[in-house]
Amino acid sequence: MRHRIRLKAARLGRSRGGLTTKVHLSADRRCRPLSFVLTPGQAGDSPQFRAVLTGIKVRLPVGRPRTRPNSVAADKAYSSCGNRAYLRQRGIKAVIPEKSDQAAHRKNRGSRGGRPISHDQDLYKQRNTAERCINRIKEWRGLAFRFDKTPGSYLAGLHLRGAVLWIRSLRPA
């Protein structure tokens, strides 16, 4: 049922390039996709943060699926107090740099502004795995050029390509 709700909510939206959609995804360190969320093109990145994280379900050989990563490395678009509080509440390490305007606002507040945001530079360097995952997904020409006209079939293609990437990663080299 949850899958149908996402398909209904995913519509084409208008942005500078015309009618578009935006793909929000999470990827592991081996550039394999963990979850997809499709939104209209004009939708912001930060509001989709929780939806992407709640979509993560990695099945291990034994036990329940794993839904909570050790850390989340994201770019500055996801830097907000709400996202950081959500990660803190779930016990996940946030590796998200602070936006310059947020840092300036915090400094202007003085001692009431709180401590500066710190993040692990070595973990942040591995954030490019999401971009590399997107590049692997776009190796399929139909996904790169968006031949599917409906959001539902486009999302199905994303899931199919994600499954292929997972299967290829499980093969012995």
Question: What residues does 37 pair with on adjacent strands?
Answer: 24
Q: pLDDT, tens digit, for every residue of 83-137?
A: 989 999 999 988 888 877 777 777 787 777 666 677 677 887 777 888 899 999 9
Q: Are 46 and 80 in contact (CB under 8 A)?
A: yes
Please give the pLDDT value at position 9. Answer: 38
Task: Output DSSP code: residue 97.
Answer: P
pLDDT at 15: 61
pLDDT reported for residue 16: 66
Q: What percentage of residues in the chain have a pLDDT greater than 70? A: 86
| d(C-alpha 129, C-alpha 152), whole Å | 25
Q: How many CA atoms lie within 13 A of 36 on its CB side?
A: 24
Distances (CA, A) of 14 to 9, 22, 144, 154: 15, 11, 19, 17
User: Which residues, listed in sequence order, are joined to residue 23 by a DSSP beta bridge?
Assistant: 38
The predicted model scores a pTM of: 0.77
pLDDT digits (tens, 9 = 90+) for 124-164: 777 788 889 999 999 998 888 888 778 888 899 999 999 99
Q: Are 162 and 143 in contact (CB under 8 A)?
A: no
